[in-house]
Structure 1
Amino acid sequence: MKAALIGAGSRGFYAYGSYALQYPHEIQFVAVAEPNKEKREKFAEAHHIPENMRFEDWTELLEKEQLCEALLICSPDRAHYKPVMKAIEKGYSILLEKPMSPVPIETLEIAEAAEKHNTLLTVCHVMRYAPFYQALKEIVDRKVIGEVVSIQWNENVGYYHHAHSFVRGNWRNSSESSPMILQKSCHDMDMLAWLIGTECKSVSSYGSLTYFKKENAPKGSTYRCLDGCKVEKECPYSAAKWYLNDRDVWPANAISANASLESRLKEIQEGPYGRCVYHCDNDVVDHQVVNLLFENDVTVAFTMTAFTNEIFRDFKIMGTKGEISGNDVKNKIEINYFSGQKEMINPATVNGGHMGADTSIMVDFIRSVNEKDRGSLTSASVSAQSHMIAYAAEESRVSGAMVSLKDYVKKLKMTKEEVL
């Protein structure tokens, strides 16, 4: 399969581009569009893309006749809508990074356009493809614990992950990217909707940016970690600790296209990742709770928090005949039946990021393109529905009111009609 890439950042380069390097007999990248020259050249050279197929802007790529079967769009959140709409018109099969768009009505328009043109558009809600969550879905669907009644679900972001991505990094400011519940936790809203299998009726949410702000800066701290900060050596968020090392792994390898220590040092001295976590321009929440009511009276209590030592999701799914608990980083699912029986499951694993989900979604996408299958586990229409839950949660958090999903979507569509 021949493919083009828009956005050669971390996801484009490592999650999906690396698959093509491992399996060149399955997929080959023939074009790339990326405004950052260093990232563009790094990707192009890795995939042997000729000079005339290296574009600085996505518009240059999409103004040409269709170059190949597939297009992967991994640009920043607010740079999804225009290229994906153009790519649908051009006839590409599309793999689109989440979120589809930070703007609710744009998400609905993407879904409508994909349906209208019968486009294969797979949204990177990759967790549905992870063997761990595939196994969990199969257990829930077998109704071994009867009918699901309530769920407790936690997303433990990890203190260092939050500091890297949501305080210093690309997703720190909702006006530049997306609200936290959409950018990070749309995975969770999507998986909950998928597992429960019915419509979400209403949402209420609370959360705020509590800790990562100027008033909590320790005495002796400076704007940058290497500006003579007196507490840098003991600070758990020290940029020197996380980025000035010889490990070619995330997050150290995410701050510069060049992995050398000299390049990383320059980024820390001049770029956003060298800033003190208490002196950034971040505004996304560092903790949030969401309560969801689904059809059949199924209730969900979801918690997202930055303040955990490790990065993982854990949950308890409670049914009429038993309960399922699990921890994805431990690859452990436990079923406790009310009869007293217990069952422990360790799902099969697959190599690749997100517990093998990055690999599995590429396998499925390539298969769909080759077989001309227009359907997808995370199609635009399916993903738009779970996006609406995240948008409604943010609406509730900001307004302090409970939000009805049907009313929320109806209002969006009415607003669009009034504008037109």
Structure 2
Amino acid sequence: MTDPDSRPLDPGSHHRAEAGSTTPEAPVNLRDHPGTSMTRPLRVAIAGAGARGAAYARHLRECGGRAVVGAVAETRPSTRVAVAAEHDVGQSQQFSCWEELVAAPRTCDAVIIAVQDRDHLKAATAFAQAGYDILLEKPMAPTEAECWQIVEACESAGVFLGVCHVLRYTPYTRLIREQIRSGAIGDIVNVQHLEPVGSWHFAHSYVRGSWHSSSDAGPVLLTKSSHDIDWLSYIIDRPALRVVSFGSLHHFRPDQAPEGAADRCLDCPVEPTCPYSAVRIYRRGLHPAAREGYFTAVVAPELTPEALERALREGPYGRCVYSGDNDVCDHQIVGIDYEDGLTAGFSLSAFTPVENRHTRIFGTRGQITTDGNSVWVHDFLTQRTTEHVVTAAGASAGEGHAGGDAAMIEAFVQALAEGDASHFSSDGRTSLMTHSIVFAAERSRLTGAVVEV
């Protein structure tokens, strides 16, 4: 007997509602229509409508009518209502948590999971068992074992799993890969890659914010730089064999606090001269079009001076960066040995401006240099350097990761809408392999040993 879930869909009749009915067509999966395009928009649920989930929802609207937000699950009522209203999601498809959404009758084809990292395993497993194709925010999970469990759950359920490695999809990444494939620099030998997290971005997310504790969220190499380790593998296109890593928490510690520093920035006599002042950072974000606006909205979603004052007085984002309840590294380096003798060096630092990544790719016939805005290709034979200007947004999450957020969502929609997983390069199994490099590097940092991947 043929499994109905394995039959290709008839593009002229699949899951069509009766004439005159307002009942939406039944949900479908990528596996249901291989190589055949859907005849209606892809319906996507948002599980976690915080900063990342809300941003991905907006990008769904930019896919030329090929996708719509069909449901919203968010614990904060005001945020849930606002995001639902923005995307015309009715009351019946608004849920107070992801658990309510997954327990309800399924109306969406796919779900974007953007809840806290520690909840990824439970959420991804539940949505896979409920039949949803999944786009999972990175990192997949705080531990390597949980990452494996997520991939196995999705494969067992036969659903598609994609992971939000947005750097793969940026315009400058596409240009770099084109240059490499064309032979512009010969064979890659070595790559140097810097992630300049940015002083106030690091203070927001990794000192005061949700990713300040390695026991709760995981090491910073996982929560911040799994993007970059994945990107290196995507560029080098070889399996990693072994890694070594060094790093520590150097500055954001109680013993580094200026004399007289208070527990909260609002009460601190040294706040005017502190580069990590929460008062300064988040008040700047109240101004229209300020780069800090994305981060201020996390602290005080109402974006009013009164709401911000209350959040700085009562919440974690108003605390001194030297208060001592954070433990993730503020600087780290990773050396990676790839198959065929290729090597890469990665460096993460909190002590930079908020700017794009900096990369140099050394080949046998030339060198590629990029800052995310431009790509320079130097030819050893002619000794000429050609500049390629890439039009993109800024580097941070609030600025769309240099165009990667929008392009990744477009690729996900294309894969599911056209029944062709090859449009989306960061599938679950691929992401699992690059996550394994991160976990191996962290073991190296903690033990001082070279660790095989």
Could you tell me whether the CA contact under 8 Å between 1:244 and 1:265 is conserved in 2? no
Q: Secondary structure at the match of 2:218?
A: coil
Match of 2:236 among 175, 191, 196: 196
Deviation at 1:21, TM superposition (A): 5.0
Partner of 2:414: 367
The structural deviation recorded for 1:35 is 1.8
Please identify, of 251-260 and 21-30, the stretch whose mean Cα deviation from structure 2 is larger.
21-30
Structure 2 unaligned blocks of 5 or more = 1-41
Check if 1:8 corresponds to 2:49.
Answer: yes
Listed as ranges, the gaps of 5+ residues in structure 1 are 406-420
Q: How far off its partner does 1:299 sit?
A: 0.9
Inter-partner Cα distance in structure 1 for 2:310 and 2:355? 28
Structure 2 CA distance for aligned equivalents of residues 42 and 24 of structure 1: 23
Distance in 2 (CA, whole Å) between partners of 1:116 and 1:293 is 32
SS where residue 244 of structure 1 aligns? helix
Shift of 1:41: 2.4
Distance 1:350 1:224 in 2: 33
Q: CA deviation at 1:398?
A: 0.8
Residues 13-412 of structure 1: pairs in structure 2 closer than 5 A: 13=54, 15-20=55-60, 25-227=65-267, 229-245=268-284, 246-248=286-288, 249-328=293-372, 331-339=373-381, 340-349=383-392, 353-375=400-422, 376-405=424-453
For the residues of structure 1 that align with 2:357 and 2:56, how far apart are their CA atoms?
23
Change in CA separation of 1:247 and 1:350 when aligned onto 2, cut-off 3 Å: closer
Is the 1:131–1:350 Cα contact (8 Å) retained in structure 2? no
1: CA distance between counterparts of 2:260 and 2:174? 49
Question: 1:373 offset after TM fit, Å?
Answer: 2.3
Distance 2:391 2:250 in 1: 39
CA shift, 1:362, in A, is 1.3
In structure 2, how many angstroms separate the alpha carbons of the residues matched to 1:268 and 1:21? 34
Letter of the 2:435 counterpart = H
Query: Deviations 1:22-69 (Å, cap 9, x if unpaired)?
Result: 568333222222222232222223223233322222111111232211
TM-score, normalised with respect to structure 2: 0.85
Name the SS for the 2:367 alignment partner.
Answer: strand
Shift of 1:250: 2.1
Q: Is the 8 A contact 1:8 1:39 kept in 2?
A: yes
Which secondary structure state, in structure 2, belongs to the residue aligned with residue 8 of structure 1?
coil
The CA deviation at 1:106 is: 1.6
User: Could you say what secondary structure the match of 1:236 adopts?
Assistant: coil
Deviation for aligned residue 1:252: 1.9
* TM-score normalised to structure 1 length: 0.91
Is the Cα–Cα contact under 8 Å of residues 130 and 356 in structure 1 kept in the other structure?
A: yes
Structure 1: distance between partners of 2:425 and 2:64: 24
Does the Cα contact within 8 Å between 2:193 and 2:346 map onto a contact in 1? yes
Q: Which amino acid aligns with 1:347?
A: V
Identity of aligned residues (%): 37
Q: Contact (CA 8 Å) 2:60, 2:409: kept in 1 or not?
A: no
Superposition deviation, residue 20 in structure 1: 4.1
Alignment partners' CA distance in 2, 1:64 and 1:207: 45
Q: What is the match of residue 33 of structure 2?
A: none
Q: Which digits, 9 at most, give the CA deviation of each residue in 1:351-373, with x for residues without a partner?
A: 96111111111111111221122
* Partner amino acid, structure 2, of 1:81: L
Alpha-carbon contact 2:193-2:360 (below 8 Å) kept: yes
Structure-2 change in CA distance of 1:47 and 1:214 (3 Å): same
Shift of 1:346: 1.4
d(CA) in 1 for partners of 2:195 and 2:236?
Answer: 18
Deviation at residue 168 of structure 1 after TM alignment = 0.7
CA RMSD of aligned residues (A): 1.7
> 2:129 is matched by which residue type in structure 1?
E
Give the structure with higher Rg (CA).
2
In 1: Cα distance, 2:429 partner to 2:334 partner: 23
Alignment partners' CA distance in 2, 1:257 and 1:315: 35
1:296 shift after superposition: 0.6
| Aligned equivalent of 1:410 | none
How far apart are 1:143 and its partner, in Å?
Answer: 2.4
Name the CA distance, whole Å, in 1 between partners of 2:125 and 2:393.
33
Q: How many residues end up aligned between the 2 structures?
A: 401
